[in-house]
């Protein structure tokens, strides 16, 4: 089965999942650019290397998502969601280590806005890729 040429048909659920996965990749960098002290704390008002890398990483992946949606590539979207899920699995303990936010709030945010949409998106895309044309 050749999955590389499989064009995806979008459903409302897949659009919702993609919105949940992609929107933080643009809103986060916008917040970091407009209000650097939000991410840095301690009254820093300028971007540092960590913030700049955060902005670059999220914008690059966000643009890759938009390109994959445009070309309707289910395998590309599947890989991007999988990479984003792995990144989110790494980000959660990093947030706990360096930011010390409330644990329950972080669990809710990461579960509802990162992990569940990614799992649903992977499931939907896997079914799309496996279904006969």
In order along its 133 residues, the chain shows pLDDT tens digits of 455 566 788 889 999 999 999 998 888 888 877 876 766 554 556 667 777 887 888 899 999 999 999 999 999 999 999 999 998 888 888 877 776 667 787 888 888 888 999 999 999 999 988 887 6
| Residue 1 lies inside a defined structural domain of this protein | no
| Residue 7 lies inside a defined structural domain of this protein | no
| Residue 2 lies inside a defined structural domain of this protein | no
| Residue 52 lies inside a defined structural domain of this protein | yes
Q: Which pLDDT value is given to residue 131?
A: 80
Q: Which pLDDT value is given to residue 97?
A: 78
| Residue 31 lies inside a defined structural domain of this protein | yes
* Number of domain units in the chain: 1
Q: Which pLDDT value is given to residue 51?
A: 72
| Residue 54 lies inside a defined structural domain of this protein | yes
Q: Which pLDDT value is given to residue 47?
A: 66
Question: In sequence order, which ranges of 4-115 are alpha helices (DSSP H)?
Answer: 12-34, 36-40, 49-71, 74-98, 103-110
CA–CA distance, 34 with 61 (Å, rounded to integer): 20
Q: Domain of 17?
A: 12-130
| Residue 5 lies inside a defined structural domain of this protein | no
Q: Which pLDDT value is given to residue 7?
A: 77
Question: What is the reported pTM?
Answer: 0.80
Alpha-carbon dihedral 128, 13, 92, 59, rounded to 10 degrees? 80
| Residue 6 lies inside a defined structural domain of this protein | no
């Amino acid at each position: 089965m050749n999955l590389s040429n499989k064009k995806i048909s979008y459903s409302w659920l897949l659009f919702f999942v993609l919105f949940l996965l992609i929107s933080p990749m643009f809103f986060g960098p916008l917040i970091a650019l407009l209000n650097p002290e939000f991410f840095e704390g301690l009254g820093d008002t300028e971007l540092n290397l960590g913030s700049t890398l955060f902005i670059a990483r999220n914008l690059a992946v966000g643009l890759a998502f938009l390109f994959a949606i445009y070309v309707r590539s289910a395998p590309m979207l599947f890989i991007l969601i999988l990479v984003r899920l792995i990144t989110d699995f790494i980000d959660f303990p990093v947030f706990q280590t360096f930011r010390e936010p409330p644990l329950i709030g972080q669990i809710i945010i990461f579960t509802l806005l990162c992990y569940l949409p990614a799992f649903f998106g992977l499931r939907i895309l896997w079914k799309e890729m496996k279904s006969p044309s």
